[in-house]
Chain A
């Protein structure tokens, strides 16, 4: 009963909310940038990996989310941003999020940036630290080159004598 009530509320919200969801399926960053005029001011779903820093700005935060094609800026409440535990960089893979929010082709609040103002966030997968395995091919190559350099040095010494 409680579940049905929640579902009804969600449906009612989606039908009567001022910004209707354009696609319930996640849109790619390329699609959003290319067709920015079409999606401007609409509620969209976008998913990708959190990269770089979670930049807290007062009660809000900027989070950049990369879907493999581009990274888009997501403006969300600091409370939502707290759910992010890993951000992507050389040593880690960031949390994969699915965000729902209002897409702006040129955001009035943020000086014309193309961004998404997040309303809800779903963590698809948790990020993780990436273990760096030593590349032995590179080790071997550097040792061979070091040997060649040493040989040349010896030869130049003989030449001088």
Chain B
């Protein structure tokens, strides 16, 4: 029997949602400080209005739904999925007010793309966008990469068991520390240390590349946030091609790979356990899949002959591939070039890389390396069962921080999520094809949206149908939260209508 939603459920959900909204409002103070530093009055007003709307909504929810009860699993999941939708709407307000987005839907598209660390963009005239709005575009990637709920957990929550339910709902089912709040704080510590180092490295490179120091460090901070959080936005319309710099490309590749690694692995590396990097199933799988997918891309590009020198082929092919595999979406070629200069084989290589993604408990989206590794281990186990005598006991293990026995429960869960992602990629491609886009292009863009990558072959632009924009928004949302929270909200809606 399905139980009908109670008023108490709504109150608890509303209360915690309100707290998260207040947390989000607080983050909007950062762009205001930037606006004051750069003397940008109207952008400051855009954020002032957005803060007021957010505080108003957050305060109303907290006051109306005042409760001291803790969250249960269902409520925790719903709070997470709703907070991402509300964050998209509130985060889109300053973008829309800037006048650089043609419609509020376009602003919502970019806000969801930012929070979900995708990187697909519908912004217009980006090269004249204010520092304030540009910072916000990248900051939402930084916040979304760590997790909107993680922010609230780190800042406002002193400790309650519901914290873990929200943490899991945000596609983070691994605890680095014994306590989920300390885990959230560790994630922030890692990110902020890398933010300082990454910004310095990119800023100095920018100056050596001929940029003005202020611009170099501003770009450095923005590009770091987009790279480490595997987002893919950039302060200029040409993305990474703007810098025309090999050094910049090398640094961003390092940052993208760091962002694609499990935060738990970062913790072990920080603790001096470097062997974990080599032994871990995720890094091993990542290495193999990069090798395989890059081979496909390289053969494809060699067939086209567009890059006659091996160094050129490697620089262009490897960069887009790593960008796709880590779920970042940085480009050093124009979106249209995927269609005009790359052949279908090379595109398939990139699509595969995008579909696979990085590590679990990282900032990447997609199926993820742990699941791919587990599925391959399961295949290996089954093959062994066929080859070996019937009486033989086959045990398969893998190393992920510690030695783990391969259980059917793990394989089932990995296969379920993989299947859900494949369906999501396929559905988006079908809708793209419905609107007249060719199969390979539609699949490319759909995979990019659902896997939170951000590489584009040119379909994502302001002229694409509104229904397709909504499709990609839903894909980015479901892909980032890894379905469970989204399924819960659907179940919740069903229970509200049909429950007894």
A70 touches B52 (CB 8 A): no
What is the CA–CA distance of A52 and B236 in the complex, to the nearest angstrom? 8
In chain B, positions 127-170 with a C-beta closer than 8 Å to chain A are 127-131
The minimal Cβ–Cβ distance linking B216 to chain A, given in whole angstroms, is 8
The minimal Cβ–Cβ distance linking A7 to chain B, given in whole angstroms, is 36
Q: Is the interface of B mostly helix, strand, loop or mixed?
A: helix
Which residue of chain B has its CB nearest to the CB of A40?
B306
Chain A residues, Cβ within 8 Å of B340: 33-34, 36-37
Chain B residues, Cβ within 8 Å of A106: 306-308, 312, 316, 341
Partner of A112, one of B56, B243, B315: B315
Interface 1/0 per residue, A4-34 and B, CB below 8 Å: 0000000000000000000000000010011
B211 interface contact, C-beta 8 A: yes
B210 touches A70 (CB 8 A): no
A89 interface contact, C-beta 8 A: yes
The minimal Cβ–Cβ distance linking A70 to chain B, given in whole angstroms, is 6
A62 touches B238 (CB 8 A): no
How many chain A residues touch B (CB < 8 A): the figure is: 46
What is the CA–CA distance of A139 and B236 in the complex, to the nearest angstrom? 29
What is the CA–CA distance of A135 and B46 in the complex, to the nearest angstrom? 10
A1 interface contact, C-beta 8 A: no
The minimal Cβ–Cβ distance linking A76 to chain B, given in whole angstroms, is 12
The minimal Cβ–Cβ distance linking A144 to chain B, given in whole angstroms, is 9
B53 touches A64 (CB 8 A): no
Chain A residues, Cβ within 8 Å of B215: 52-53
B284 interface contact, C-beta 8 A: no
Chain B residues, Cβ within 8 Å of A138: 42, 45-46, 49, 97
A111 touches B334 (CB 8 A): no
Q: A66-B237, A90-B129, A138-B45 are in contact. Are A146 and B52 (CB under 8 A)?
A: yes
The minimal Cβ–Cβ distance linking A111 to chain B, given in whole angstroms, is 5
A80 interface contact, C-beta 8 A: no
Partner of A66, one of B127, B311, B337: B127
A82 interface contact, C-beta 8 A: no
Partner of B241, one of A30, A113, A159: A113
B244 touches A62 (CB 8 A): yes
A61 interface contact, C-beta 8 A: yes
What is the CA–CA distance of A105 and B308 in the complex, to the nearest angstrom? 12
Partner of B210, one of A57, A88, A111, A145: A57
Chain B residues, Cβ within 8 Å of A148: 52, 56
Chain B residues, Cβ within 8 Å of A111: 246, 311-312, 315-316
B241 touches A73 (CB 8 A): yes
In chain A, positions 76-91 with a C-beta closer than 8 Å to chain B are 88-90
Chain A residues, Cβ within 8 Å of B311: 111
Q: A106-B307, A149-B56 are in contact. Are A113 and B244 (CB under 8 A)?
A: yes
A56 interface contact, C-beta 8 A: yes
Binding site for A on B (CB under 8 A): 40-42, 45-46, 48-49, 52-53, 55-56, 59-60, 63, 97, 127-131, 209-212, 215, 236-238, 241-244, 246, 306-309, 311-313, 315-316, 332-334, 336-337, 340-341
Further contacts, 12 of them, CB under 8 A, given A73-B238, A135-B42: A36-B337, A51-B128, A51-B237, A53-B211, A56-B210, A64-B238, A112-B306, A112-B307, A138-B97, A148-B56, A152-B56, A159-B63
A–B pairs, 8, beta carbons within 8 Å? A52-B215, A55-B211, A62-B244, A112-B313, A115-B244, A138-B49, A148-B56, A149-B52
